[in-house]
Amino acid sequence: MGLDNIVIVGASLAGLRAAEELRTLGHAGRITLVGDEPHRPYDRPPLSKQVLAGMKPPESTALMVAGGSIDDLDLDWRLGESATGLDLGARSVLLAGGEQLPYDGLVIATGASPKRLPGTDHLDGVHTLRTLDDCAAIRSALVASPGRVAVVGAGFIGAEVAATCRGLGIAVSMIEALPVPLERGLGPAMGAVVADLHRDHGVDVRLGVGVVLIEGGDRVEQIRLTDGTVLDVDLVVIGIGVGPNTDWLEGSGLTIDNGVLCDATCAAAPGVVAAGDVARWPNHRFGEVMRVEHWDNAIAMGTHAARTLVAGPAAAEPYEPVPWFWSDQYDRKIQLAGRAGPDDTVAVVSGSTDDRRFVAFYGRAGRLVGVLGMSQPAKVMRWRSLVEQATTWDAALAAAAQEAEA
Amino acid sequence: MRVVVDYDLCESNALCMAAAPEVFEVRDDDFLYVLQDEPSEDLRDKVEEAARRCPKQAITIEG
């Protein structure tokens, strides 16, 4: 079947990179890019850092295309429109306005949305951070010099917002139900290092406590914690994770299970691929069905999904990346190549956690699965190849020790 | 093709080095070194991949 007409639902990083790859592969037909936000594709990482801090204007986040202009992609833009349904049999996407968009090939890249705390929607001053508009709202609240900001959830968004607030001289309380920040992402030992980093920068770090109630009249005034503490706050940023945007696919016949379930090549159904935060797939490299919410995965998976769509099922190749992310907090750069979980073995192989300049390896079942660095980008990227090569734990430790001696 | 890095943007994330080690090297001083300003055409795919993967969009390709 020909692929004259391709629809991409989701106009952020994964969708844009899919479109770019389709053109690179020589697709000359129509590409329709549907996005529920009014903006052209933009880069989200600066929204918790430079743009939130006022160091860069929101316009600076516009995503570029390597070696040319985004207009060169000749896309049929449908911005400010959301998809509400998918008819696999008829090969058609339903838009909120009632329009049907027929397709020969479909890329699902609808991303994820922040989870909210129940019972807080009526209060001004309680925010989540995902979009440019979210960032602008928090930015204007920060400019008004709040007495104290509460960050609920010490994942990457919460930790970066806390660091940005401290950079602006604003008092911050970081509230996390787990014993350390970033525990799900980095495990307890490395999470403790991050907790100390925030304490040293004057963050009021409150771990192992939950939120009972966020109170106020029209605006947020207080936050009540499970240990009985009541904090006076002017602004609350909720960073308790995201959920994949799959509501519009309910009943479509696609398998929805914590994301759109794909095969190893990113295909979800005949003529349908998925990529980025919304997609879950078996990554054979790690023997794990994963959904990865990282910036770099949106690029790599968007690109791969486009290749799968063009190649067709017989020629499509499995998507087997070593995931990678970074997070900038204060003057430190945290990077992880591979996987890291609470139950993995952890060993610091270079530098020291006291200096906050180190590399740690994560091991699982006798094999190196992750390389974590704090302000050690060159080593992380060099040792990422050990993860790619499925190096045993002992051989990985030996390789790191050998380089340290050299 | 000419590779141009905006060092005001570059934060040495080193993804370019993973994509095109012939052209980009982040050393242990945490600085990016461009090994070839004008790499040969056969490296174009890798250099474009490096530009795409740069979290700061700090790499541009001229020509």
Q: Which chain A residues have a beta carbon less than 8 Å from that of B17? A: 378, 381
Question: Is residue A234 within 8 Å of residue A148, measured between CB atoms?
Answer: yes
CA distance B34 to chain A (A): 14
From A361, A354, A352, A358, select the one nearest A386 (Cα to Cα). Answer: A361
A45 CB near a chain B CB, below 8 Å? yes
Task: Say yes or no for a CB contact (<8 Å) between B14 and A63.
Answer: no
Q: What pLDDT score was predicted for residue A1?
A: 52
Q: Which chain B residues have a beta carbon less than 8 Å from that of A64? A: 57
Query: How many domains does one find in chain B?
Result: 1
Which pLDDT band, with edges at 50, 70 and 90, does A122 fall under?
A: confident
- pLDDT tens track, chain B, 63 positions: 999 999 999 999 999 999 999 999 999 888 999 999 999 999 999 999 999 999 999 999 998
Q: What residues of chain A, 57 to 96, have a C-beta less than 8 Å from chain B?
A: 63-64, 66-67
* CATH code (residue B47): 3.30.70.20
pLDDT in tens, A336-388: 999 999 999 999 999 999 999 999 999 999 999 999 999 999 999 999 999 99
* Closest by Cβ to A377, choosing from B26, B49, B53: B26
**Residue A256: partners with Cβ closer than 8 Å, 6 or more residues away:** A246, A249, A250
B30 CB near a chain A CB, below 8 Å? yes
DSSP classification of residue A40:
P
Q: What pLDDT score was predicted for residue A33?
A: 98
pLDDT in tens, A199-217: 999 999 999 999 999 999 9
Sheet hosting strand A92-95, strand order edge to edge: A83-87, A92-95, A100-102
B54 CB near a chain A CB, below 8 Å? no
Helical packing angle, A377-388 and A393-405, nearest 10°? 150
Residue A244 clears pLDDT 70, i.e. is over it: yes
Q: Which residue of B lies nearest to A385 if distances are taken between CA atoms?
A: B18
* ipTM confidence: 0.89
What structural domains and CATH numbers belong to chain A?
Answer: 5-113+243-311 (3.50.50.60), 116-238 (3.50.50.60), 331-405 (3.30.390.30)
Any alpha helices (H) in A49-116, and if so which ranges?
A: 50-53
Does residue A371 come out as left (phi exceeding 0), alpha (psi in the -120 to 50 range) or beta? beta
Q: Which chain A residues have a beta carbon less than 8 Å from that of B26? A: 377-378, 381
Task: Say yes or no for a CB contact (<8 Å) between A375 and B28.
Answer: no
Question: Is residue A159 within 8 Å of residue A198, measured between CB atoms?
Answer: yes
pLDDT in tens, A61-119: 999 887 778 999 999 999 999 999 999 999 999 999 999 999 999 999 999 999 999 88
Question: Is residue A203 within 8 Å of residue A173, measured between CB atoms?
Answer: yes
A304 CB near a chain B CB, below 8 Å? no
User: How far apart are the C-alpha atoms of A331 and A271, rounded to whole Å?
Assistant: 45
From residue B63, how far is each of A375, B2, B48 by CA, in Å?
34, 6, 12
Amino acid identity at A35: G
Q: To 5 degrees, how large is the angle CA A208–CA A146–CA A239?
A: 40
Question: Is residue A359 within 8 Å of residue A347, measured between CB atoms?
Answer: no
Q: What pLDDT score was predicted for residue A207?
A: 98
Give the pairing type, strands A279-283 and A260-261. Answer: parallel
A357 CB near a chain B CB, below 8 Å? no
**What is the span of the domain harbouring residue B10?**
2-62
